[in-house]
Amino acid sequence: MIPPIQQILIPREAIEAKVRDLAHAISAAYQGRDLVLIAILKGSIVFLVDLMKELDLDVEIGFFYLSSYQGQTSPQTQVRHFDIPFPVITGRDVLLVEDIFDTGASLAYAFGECQKHRPRSLKTCVFVVKQSKERAGLPAIDFRGFDIPDVFIVGYGMDYQEKYRQLPYIAIPRLP
């Protein structure tokens, strides 16, 4: 269960403190309004659950189930979208919740899909940002947790070949 770890990048206590800080900022920003949290499965589930427990707002939750992979012949990241029930977001305040911003393709796809439904507002909350990957043309990150260098990480929802999502810390694994 415990992966071979090269380095614990973000320990449990730092994660918990950051989730509380983000929740305070989000609660202040949406004070007195209802909020729809849309999480991108699977990676964001752990963050979503922790975050929503700290929010001082009425929230509804919904999900996208996206899977991204590198195209065989093109370096561009493709995004597959699996259909699951989705809340009505037209005219509502929506916050997209994402575990990690790497190429930004998943967030950009989810952002575009939400925009089609004409929400009242649409913002993004990303727990871990590979800062070097942020580019013009991708959705802005309105609420951000940690900026990290371009390294592969596991834990706190994030996997390596579907494993290690349940780790309560974020680590750089020693990969085979």
Site map (CB under 5 A) of Mg ion, residues 88-117, x = contact: -----------x------------------
Q: What is the closest distance, in whole angstroms, from the C-beta atom of residue 25 to ligand IMP in the complex?
A: 21
Minimum distance from CB of 124 to ligand IMP (Å)? Answer: 11
Closest CA to 164 of 43, 12, 15: 43
**The residue to which tokens 């609660």 are assigned:** 27
The nearer residue to Mg ion, 57 or 155, going by C-beta atoms, is 155
Least distance CB 59 / ligand IMP (angstroms): 21
Dihedral angle sign, alpha carbons of residues 129, 133, 136, 137: negative
| Distance in Å, CB of 162 to ligand IMP, minimum | 11
**Site for Mg ion, residues 31 to 90, rule: CB under 5 A:** 43
Q: Which one is catalytic: 21, 102, 142, 147?
A: 102
Q: Structure tokens of 138?
A: 């991708």
HSE at residue 8, side-chain half, CA atoms within 13 A, is 11
d(CA 42, CA 57): 24
Give contact residues for ligand IMP (rule: CB under 6 A): 40, 43, 68, 77, 98-106, 152-154, 158-159
H or E, element range at 112: helix 105-116
Measured from the CB atom, the residue of 119 and 139 that comes closer to ligand IMP is: 139
- The one-letter amino acid code at 90 reads T
Amino acid at 172: I
Nearest CB to ligand IMP, comparing residues 92 and 157: 157
Q: Is 102 a catalytic residue?
A: yes
Give dist(CA 146, CA 136) in Å, integer.
Answer: 20
Binding site for Mg ion (CB under 5 A): 43, 99
Catalytic sites, residue numbers: 102
